[in-house]
Structure 1
């Protein structure tokens, strides 16, 4: 049987789950210095996902961290992290059907929006900052 949650129960669950340390994984990174002669632009980005879970429930954020491209190499590691939509929406909530006041289920994109409205960016990005690459010493 599928679990059913009211909006209030869902919001309480989201608050609890976002406070739990997630599984965070980097799935790709790109660092490239520009070369005007060959038409290559400077790029700095890291992609990954964060999975906040407790038994029976899961919230997954796909994210992208953009490096600051205004300065020198060291500045490229000053990241701005934001949700990255690979599929239809992000974040993704799994584990229950959430009903509105009229007993109608929320769509996935509506739940994603509710999570983003409720959770401050620093609450879900704080776990990511620690695993982002740091500038390596050039020899």
Structure 2
């Protein structure tokens, strides 16, 4: 039998879970210095996911960190982190059905929206920063 939560129970659970350190994984990095003469765009992106969990429940954020491309090389490592929709919605909540005031289940995209309204970006992005590359990764040591 599926677990059932009221909206208030879900909100309390989500706030508790987001305060726990998540499992964070970087799944892809894409850095390119670009070349205006050849029409190659400058790119600085890191993709990954964060899984906040308690026994029986998970909130999963797929995310993309985009570097600032307006300045110099060092600026490419000034990242802005935002949800990345690999599926129909992000973030994803697993573990229970959440009911509205009329005892109807919320759809996945509605739960994703509730999470984004409830949880401030810095509450879930603060864990990701340490997994992002630093400028020294591009500097190759010469012998």
TM over 0.5: yes
Encode CA deviations 1:86-119: one digit per residue, 9 max, x unaligned: 1100000000000000000000000000000000
Query: 2:20 aligned with 1:20, yes or no?
Result: yes
SS in 1 for 2:60: strand
Query: 2:71 aligned with 1:71, yes or no?
Result: yes
Query: 2:52 aligned with 1:52, yes or no?
Result: yes
Cα deviation for residue 138 of structure 1 reads 4.5
Cα deviation for residue 34 of structure 1 reads 1.4
1:129 equivalent in structure 2: 129
SS in 2 for 1:70: coil
Cα distance between partner residues in 1 of 2:78 and 2:140: 18
1:98 equivalent in structure 2: 98
Cα distance between partner residues in 2 of 1:36 and 1:99: 53
Comparing 37-46 and 90-99, the one that deviates more: 37-46
Q: Which runs of 4+ in 1 moved over 4 A?
A: none
Cα distance between partner residues in 1 of 2:42 and 2:140: 18
1:108 equivalent in structure 2: 108
Q: Which runs of 5+ in 1 are unaligned?
A: none
Q: TM-score, normalised by structure 1?
A: 0.98
Cα deviation for residue 37 of structure 1 reads 2.3
Cα distance between partner residues in 2 of 1:44 and 1:90: 22
1:10 equivalent in structure 2: 10
Q: TM-score, normalised by structure 2?
A: 0.95
Q: Which runs of 5+ in 2 are unaligned?
A: none
Cα distance between partner residues in 2 of 1:127 and 1:66: 16
SS in 2 for 1:130: helix
Cα distance between partner residues in 1 of 2:32 and 2:59: 32
Cα distance between partner residues in 2 of 1:125 and 1:96: 24
